[in-house]
Structure 1
């Protein structure tokens, strides 16, 4: 009976390794589309903020290096 227990340990390890291997090799490209869209929105918002800041500097006439 003890030898059967020692044979089950590598069996469970192999099954665990197979489960982990299939999980690690899964296809994770489905989330990339939403992440790229979010990054595009972020860049657009940062561009608008930069344009707003440039307009404010141009109207105030002080420039960005004024103290």
Structure 2
């Protein structure tokens, strides 16, 4: 029975490692559309004239 207990630890570690690899290597959306829209908003804000005169 103790041999079985000693085998459970590395097997559980292997299963957790496999789950971590599957989770970390999944395909993610790049979010390019949101990034480009954010950049366009930033450019528009930088091109606007300030509402108050500079001191």
Same fold (TM over 0.5): yes
Q: Which runs of 5+ in 2 are unaligned?
A: none
**Higher relative contact order, structure no. (Cα contacts within 8 Å, ≥ 6 residues apart):** 1
| Between structures 1 and 2, the one with greater helix share | 1
State the Cα distance separating 1:37 from its structure 2 match: 1.9
Write out the 4+ residue segments of structure 1 that deviate beyond 4 Å after TM superposition: none
Deviation at 1:30, TM superposition (A): 4.5
Task: Give TM-score scaled by structure 1 length.
Answer: 0.60
Structure 1's unaligned 5+ residue stretches are: 58-63
**CA-based RMSD:** 2.2
**TM-score, normalised on structure 2?**
0.69
Instruction: Mark the structure with the bigger radius of gyration.
Output: 1
Q: What is the DSSP-based 3-state SS (H/G/I as helix, E as strand, rest coil) of the residue aligned with 1:29?
A: coil
Instruction: Give me the whole-angstrom Cα distance separating, in 2, the residues matched to 1:32 and 1:19.
Output: 28
1:26 is displaced (CA, Å) by 1.3
1:34 alignment counterpart: 34
